[in-house]
Chains A and B, each alone.
Chain A
Amino acid sequence: MQNRKAAANAIIYPLLVVFAIITLIPFAHMLAGALKTKFDYAATLFLPAGDGFLGIGWDRITLDNFVRLFELDIGRAMLNSLFLSSVHAILTVLFCSMGGYALAKLRFKGREFVTTLVLTALIIPGPLLLAPGFQLLYQLGLLNTYTGLLLPGLTPAFGVFLFRQAMLNGVPNELIEAARIDGAGEARIFFELVLPLVRPMMGAFLMISFMGTWNNFINPQIVLQSPDLQPLSVALNNLKGLYGTDYALIMAGTIVSISPVMCIFLLLQREFIAGLTGGAVKG
C-alpha cells in the first residue's frame, strides 16, 4: 500500500508541475515580451539573449513599452475602467442584497411572484437584449454616456438570487424579530444586522461585479463612441488595431489591464472562492 502511494505520487507531482508550467507560459511570455524592444521581440521567445547571467541580455530589458503606452493615453482608459468597475460593483452589491433580503426574509403578498420572476430572468441570454437594449438607450438619449452603460446592468437577477440564497440560511429569523421588538427600523436592521452576516457573499459578489465590468467588452463597444470615455478593454483593442504588429506594446498593455484584477483577487481570495462555489457560505 505504502509503495503504491509513493509510486502514485511520483506520477502526480511531475504531472502537476508540467501542467502548472504550461499554465504559466502565456504569462511568462507576456511579461518577457513587454520588457523587450520591438527588435528583440522578433528575435527571441522569452527574455532577450545576451551575455549576462543565464545567457540573458539583462541590459537590453526596457520599460519603454510602458512609457509609450501612457503617452498613448492608456492611463485615461485605466481611470475610466477603475471608475466604471467600482461604481458598478458597489451599486450592484447594494441593490442585489436589498432585493435578496426582501425575497429571503420579508413576508409580503407577491413574494412568490417576484421570486419566480428572478428565477425566470436567470435563463434570458444576454445577447438577446443587445439590439433592443441599444434602441432603448437611443430613445432615452443615453447612448455614449456612462449612465447608459451602467444602468441596465445594476440589478442582475443572478445577484438577487445569490443574496437570497445566502440570506435564507445565513440570517436567523429570531435575530430580525428581536431587533424589531427592540424598535429598530427596517433600514437599520438591514444595514447593521443583516449585511454584516453575509459579508463573505458581499466580498465575493463585489469581486465578481468588479471583474465583470472590468472585463466587459461588447457593451462599452456598442454604447460608447467617444475615445475619451472608453474603458481599457475597448481602448486597448483600438490600440491593437493601430499598432497590431507591435506585440511588445500590446503585451505591456495587457499587463497593465490584468494586474489590478489580479491584485484585488489576491486580497479577497478566500471569500471569492467560497462565494464562487456558492451555498458554502455560512453566516
Chain B
Amino acid sequence: MKRLNYAPWLFLAPFLLLFSLFTVWPLIHSMFLSMQQTYGPGRTEWVGLHNFKFLLTDPLFWKATSNTVKFAAGSLFIQLPVALGLALLLNRPGLRGRAYFRLIFFAPSLVGMPFVAMLFAPIFARHTGLLNKTLNYFVSSWPIDFAWTQNYVMSALIIAALWMSAGFNMVYFLAALQNVSRDLIEAAEIDGAGAWHKFWHITLPEIMPIAGFVTLLSVIASFQLFELSYIMLNDSAGPDNRGLTIVMYLYQTGFEAGDLGYASSIGWVLAIMLISIALIQRRILKRHEDR
C-alpha cells in the first residue's frame, strides 16, 4: 500500500516540474514585467502602471485590435457558416464518396499556418498572382494590390484562413450532426416540418454544445493571429500597419524593439480580452440551454 503514496507524484513529476518552471513562474513574472520597461532581456527599469496607461492611448495597439477584431468577425460570420454548410451537405444520408470529400475539405488544415501564408502570398501577388490574373479575365483590367488597401489586406487574410480552417471545423460539425437523433428528425418529418424548420428547431439546438465549443476555439485562435499576416506581408505589418494584429504588435515591441515589459502588458490585455470572450460565450450558451 505504501508505494501508492508516491507513485502518483512520480507520474505527475514531469508535468508539475515543467509546468511550474515554464508556465506558473513566467505567469507570475509577467505581472512584474508588465510594470517595467526593458531594453532587451537584460536591462530593465520600473515604470509602474505606465505601460497600461500608455497602451490605452496607443494608436498602434488600437489599430492592431481593430484589425484583429475584423479578422475574428470574418472567421465567425464567414468561416464557421461555411464549415457548417459543408458538414450539412456531407451529412446527407446515403451520400456517395463522403470519405473522399471529407478528406479533400480537411486537407488544407494539415498545412500549417506559416506554410498557408507562403502558399497564398503568390496567389495574392499583384501582377503574377492567380487571383488577379483570374479576375482580369472577368472583371477589370486593373490588378488589385492586396497588400495595399486596408480592406483588401484583411480580406486576403480571411480568405486564406477560410481555406485553411473551414474543413477542420467541418469535421467537428459533422461529428455533432451524426449524433443528432434520427428519431427526432423523423418525428418532425411526419409532422410535416420543412427542411428549414427541421434545421432551425431540431438540428441546431442538438448540435449547440459542440457548435459553441467550435465557435469559442475559432474566435480565440483568431485573436492570436500572427504568422499568416506576418509572413504574407514579408515579415512586417504591411504598409501603414494595415495587417498589424495584437500578437504581431506584441512580437514587434518585445522582440524587434526589445521592450519585453510593454510586450507583457499587451499580453495581459489580450488575455483579459480572451477570458471575457470565453465568459460571455458561456453565458450565452447557458441561456440557450435554459430555454
Contacts and interface: CB of A to CB of B under 8 A. Distances in A.
A245 to B, nearest CB: 8
Given A152-B18, A258-B115, A23 B104 contact: yes
Contact of A133 (B12, B26, B89): B26
Identify which of B112, B175, B234 gathers the most chain A CB atoms within 10 Å of its CB. B112
Nearest to A29: B130
B14 A190 contact: no
Interface in B237-254: 246-247, 250-251, 254
The 4 A-B residue pairs with the shortest CB-CB distance, nearest first, are A215-B112, A132-B26, A152-B22, A102-B11
20 contacts: A23-B163, A26-B108, A98-B12, A98-B15, A108-B8, A114-B16, A128-B264, A129-B27, A130-B250, A130-B255, A132-B30, A133-B22, A139-B41, A215-B115, A217-B226, A218-B226, A247-B125, A247-B128, A276-B171, A280-B175
Interface stretch (B58-66, B138-146, B180-188, B270-278): B270-278
Contacts of A129: 22-23, 26-27, 30, 267
Contacts of B22: 129, 133, 136, 151-152
A20 B41 CA distance: 48
Given A12-B92, A129-B30, A131-B263, 9 more contacts: A15-B89, A23-B167, A98-B11, A107-B8, A127-B224, A157-B23, A216-B112, A233-B114, A247-B125
Given A19-B86, A99-B14, A258-B112, A125 B224 contact: yes
Interface string B95-116: 1000001011111101111110
B115 A102 contact: no
A147 to B, nearest CB: 12
B118 interface: yes
Contact of B110 (A41, A94, A155, A261): A261
Interface in A55-105: 94-96, 98-99, 101-103
B135 to A, nearest CB: 12
Interface of B: 3-5, 7-12, 14-16, 18-19, 21-23, 25-27, 29-30, 33, 38, 41-42, 86, 89-90, 92, 95, 101, 103-108, 110-115, 118-123, 125, 127-128, 130, 133-134, 163, 167, 171-172, 175, 220, 223-224, 226-227, 231, 234-235, 246-247, 250-251, 254-255, 260-261, 263-264, 267-268, 270-271, 274-275, 278
Contacts of B118: 236-237, 240, 250, 253-254, 257
Contacts of A185: 3
A151 B38 CA distance: 25
Contacts of A103: 12
Contacts of A155: 14-15, 18-19
A251 B227 CA distance: 17
A20 B270 contact: no
Contacts of B246: 127
A108 B29 contact: no
A26 B18 CA distance: 40
Contacts of B224: 125-127
A247 B122 contact: yes
A214 B112 contact: yes
B227 to A, nearest CB: 5
Contact of B89 (A16, A29, A186, A215): A16
Contact of B27 (A45, A128, A244, A247): A128
Contact of B104 (A20, A134, A160): A20
Contacts of B251: 130, 218, 222
A134 B275 contact: no
A169 interface: no
A30 interface: yes
B65 to A, nearest CB: 14
A124 B120 contact: no
Contacts of A23: 104-105, 107-108, 163, 167
